[in-house]
Amino acid sequence: MNSILKPLLLQSFRTGGLYLLIIALSLAISATTALKFSNTQVQNAVTLQAAEMLGADLVLSDNQPIQENWHEQAKKLNLKQASVTLFGSMAHTQDQFVMVNVKAIDGAFPLRGQLEIAPKAQQIKQGEVWLSPRAMDLLGVKLEDNVAIADGEFKVTGLIEHDSNQELGFSGFSPTVIIHQADISKTNAIQVGSRIEYRLLMAGEPNAVDVYKKIFKQQIDPESDNQKVESQAEAAEQTSLKLRDASQSNTRLMKPIENLDTFLQLANLLTILLCGIAIALTSQRYVQQNQDHIALMRCLGASKSQILSAYIILLGIVSLISIALGSLIGIGLGYGLLQLMLQLIPQLQLSFALSDLLMALPIAIFTSVMVLIGFILPSIWELLNTPPIRVIRQQERSRKSYVAMFAVGISSLIIFSLVLSDNLKLSLLVLVAILVLCTVLFAMIWLLLKAIKRLKHPLSAYVRIPHQTALQITALALGLSLITVLSVLRTDLLQRWQQQLPEGTPNQFVYGLPPFDMPQFKQQLEQNNWSSTPLYPNIRGRLIAKNNQAFSPELIKQNNSLRRELNLTQASAYPTDNVITQGKANFSAVGQVSVEEKLATELGIKIGDQLRFSLPEGILEAKVINLRSVEWESFSPNFFFIFSPQTMDENAGSYLGSFYVPTVDQPKMVQLIQQFSNTVFIDVGRILDEVKRLMNVLVQIVTVLAVLVGMSGVLVLIACLNVLMDERRKEVALLRSFGVAKNKLKRMLSLEIGFIGLLAGVVACLFAEVISAIASYKMQMAVQLHPEIWFILPLAMMLVCTLIGRYRLSYLCDIPPLQSLREINQS
């Protein structure tokens, strides 16, 4: 065994192929480990950013005081707790009366984010009140003045500059005042029939948070564990207890965070694929470099088992070296990546835990080695079963052997990708699309090259072995497209987020505007030149039946929209961000209704169905004429149901809408609120700032990850080009020995490699468009083409391949043919 292993080691290291194999395997281990670890850290950090708008990781709310058992459960899980009570009341001085939203807090509030008070204060004391800027302006008070809230007298000791617990909703209207939890009784504001919300805020380790959510679901929704207990089910129907996590603090945050999660998963998958392809290419290159050596050992009497054992030991040595290097680099890269993100995105709360990083190593090591074995052992086994004389003559490998080798190798690559992926559905979708595309495009390129070779045209001289060249083009295109797709998706995400929050996004909501005040209110907006959405009539009603059939108790229990009153409206035109997906676009008669498509799917509503609603003034029936997609994350009014004009009595309800007030005009809002004292005004400017800040963080994260994945893809391009160069080194040496002129040879090689690069660039564009379309579909974004890459990629790849090919092979053209042949034989 030693007699075979020693020369095998020397030969392998002398050819240089083993070095690239070690580099590829080390990169696979380090890159997948570091990226998988950083993805987890970034997801946790972004969740914490979203949690700041909730003031906690979890909020348990009820219209009754939170029962003690929920506090005890949080205590057992080491979750930090804070209590908040919300209710509406009248704040007044001797001259001013203002309806305010009272938030009573304890000393632990908030658990996430910050409560910034001017002058700086850590905790509110009994007998003190903190006012939002709008409340202070409306009441006309300053610090140290006294303000009455219902029956209680309080001293103003602070101005609320920033409250992390900013949620958008008509129940959380501004202006806001904050008092101590112990002062609630002092106000005497809570009476029978008062609208009040009790909240238990909780924060802690992600695992503890998940356990608490699971316990809540088991106790409040017993069917989630397939336990159908009548008493528990009845209790679940009667309770108003709700549990929300950070992703539910504001619906406008959910979609960007979901998109970021999909982007992270795709970045992880593409890195895995790039590393796998690099291993595959370097493995095949190593086998091709050593096939003569295997044949020689067979001729000298070495048995198959001896050679196979020697190669297994060699692969073991390669794996151990790669594991050591990959682990060290992976740990360093993981730590460095977090430090880089902390420098670029200081808002993120990232923490480095070596134990978390080490947990990602074993599976990365195992799968990377499996890909190496999957691609290299089948080729070695085939060479061992080939008669020595055929190997020495270097006869072309059969198509059957190619199919078998690639079947085993690609299977290991797929397993590698799926095991390391956190999103199996997305991974399967992308992998299936890539396999189908690779197969179809390989066949098309192969047929094209065969046709060119048969033309007997000067161009035919640049096509050597069609199926090999087609395979090289496909591999090169795949590696290039995987680098490109994240850059393309990053641009699409930025455009979507910018469209979601364009300049002039409404920062004020008006709710409960009486019909008799509407003309004068619209006149005020026009006088101030404040842009606004239409003012929609808002009538509360319940959906009770479809096609004269009441909804089943099971469906009512599953869908909250059937258990509560909805905001109904009528309009001749739809909100600008609504898109008709099915049915007629325009209303044609009274008694028609347009339905939001997702709710329609959940409730089984179809075009032509007759819906029945219960309104305060009686029963309303309407026919469904279309379904709409709705951008709920936009800062504009949106509705589940929009009726045709004159279907409802507009004077039976109130009006709602949104408008934009520039910063310089904010003082004018005080006059507007005082003028329309019966109307609720919701200031979402601070929430808008928080959403913009979070989106800025997401943009920077996406940019950093796109660059990192691009760097991983460089190795694939190098491996592809190395394979191209190796094949042509021998051809250059032989052609030089036959007397072909140096200039002609350089020109021919440059054109050939450039042609391969051009085709690879075109194919890469198609790959990138398909993969980005799949990702856009998963992110619920509009699928769009990217014409710029069709111009840039082919030309760039043609130029890169031409320059690299000319640089890497031209030196062979400048040395004597005999010397170049000796170099080839020695390698």
Q: For residue range 257-290, what is the model confidence (pLDDT) as tens digits?
A: 666 667 767 776 777 677 777 777 777 667 776 7
The set of residues, in sequence order, having a beta carbon less than 8 Å from that of 407 and lying 6+ positions away, is none
pLDDT of residue 696: 67
**pLDDT tier at 810 (50, 70, 90 boundaries)?**
low
Q: Please state the rounded mean pLDDT for residues 408-420.
A: 68
Q: Which position has the higher pLDDT, 786 or 782? A: 786
- Degrees, nearest 5: CA angle 695-696-697: 90
The pair of three-digit structure tokens given for residue 103, joined into one six-digit string? 């938030």
Q: Please state the rounded mean pLDDT for residues 634-656.
A: 87
Helix (H, G, I), strand (E, B) or coil at 121: coil
Contact 605, 599 (CB under 8 A): yes
pLDDT of residue 771: 80
HEC string of 812-826 equals HHCCCHHHHHHHHHH
pTM, two decimals, is 0.61
- Which residues sit opposite 89 in a β-bridge? 100
pLDDT greater than 70 at residue 693: no
pLDDT of residue 428: 78
The pair of three-digit structure tokens given for residue 269, joined into one six-digit string? 């998958």
- At 679, which amino acid appears? T
Picking from 263-272, 393-402, 486-495, 810-819, which range would have the lowest pLDDT averaged per residue? Answer: 393-402
**pLDDT tier at 394 (50, 70, 90 boundaries)?**
low
pLDDT tens digits for 450-463? 887 777 666 665 56
* Pairing between β-strand 654-659 and β-strand 579-583 as defined by DSSP bridges: unpaired
How much is the mean pLDDT over the chain? 77
Q: How far is CA 625 from CA 176, 544, 567, 596, 608, in A?
A: 42, 19, 19, 11, 6
pLDDT greater than 50 at residue 232: no
User: CA 699 to CA 494: how far, in whole Å?
Assistant: 7
pLDDT greater than 70 at residue 198: yes
Q: Which position has the higher pLDDT, 106 or 398? A: 106
Q: Please state the rounded mean pLDDT for residues 310-335.
A: 81
- Backbone phi, psi, residue 536, to 5°: -100, 135
The pair of three-digit structure tokens given for residue 235, joined into one six-digit string? 């209790």
The sign of the torsion formed by the CA atoms of 554, 559, 565, 567 equals negative
pLDDT of residue 118: 86
Helix (H, G, I), strand (E, B) or coil at 18: helix
Other beta carbons less than 10 A from residue 103's beta carbon: 23
Crossing angle (nearest 10°) for helices 2-15 and 17-51: 70
Q: Please state the rounded mean pLDDT for residues 802-827.
A: 63
Contact 180, 124 (CB under 8 A): yes
User: CA 513 to CA 430: how far, in whole Å?
Assistant: 50
pLDDT of residue 250: 53
pLDDT of residue 85: 92
- Backbone phi, psi, residue 117, to 5°: -120, 140
User: CA 592 to CA 609: how far, in whole Å?
Assistant: 10
Alpha-helical (H) ranges within 536-652 are 553-558, 597-603
Q: Hey, which bits of 706-827 come out as E strands?
A: none
The sign of the torsion formed by the CA atoms of 192, 195, 196, 197 equals positive
Q: Which position has the higher pLDDT, 83 or 806? A: 83
pLDDT greater than 60 at residue 408: yes
pLDDT of residue 224: 41
Q: How far is CA 810 from CA 168, 420, 735, 736, 749, in A?
A: 67, 42, 13, 12, 9
pLDDT tens digits for 155-191? 999 998 877 665 544 444 568 899 999 999 999 888 7
The pair of three-digit structure tokens given for residue 610, joined into one six-digit string? 């007759």
The set of residues, in sequence order, having a beta carbon less than 8 Å from that of 266 and lying 6+ positions away, is 426, 430, 485, 486, 489, 775
**pLDDT tier at 747 (50, 70, 90 boundaries)?**
confident
Q: What percent of the chain has pLDDT over 70?
A: 70
pLDDT tens digits for 72-129? 999 999 999 999 999 888 888 888 888 888 999 998 888 887 788 888 877 899 999 9
**pLDDT tier at 234 (50, 70, 90 boundaries)?**
very low
* Pairing between β-strand 176-180 and β-strand 97-105 as defined by DSSP bridges: parallel
Q: Hey, which bits of 278-403 come out as E strands?
A: none
Contact 595, 640 (CB under 8 A): yes
**pLDDT tier at 473 (50, 70, 90 boundaries)?**
confident
Q: Which residues of 44-64 are buried (b: 16+ CB within 10 A; e: fewer)?
A: bbbbbbbbbbbbbbbbbbbee
Q: Please state the rounded mean pLDDT for residues 567-588.
A: 89
pLDDT of residue 83: 92
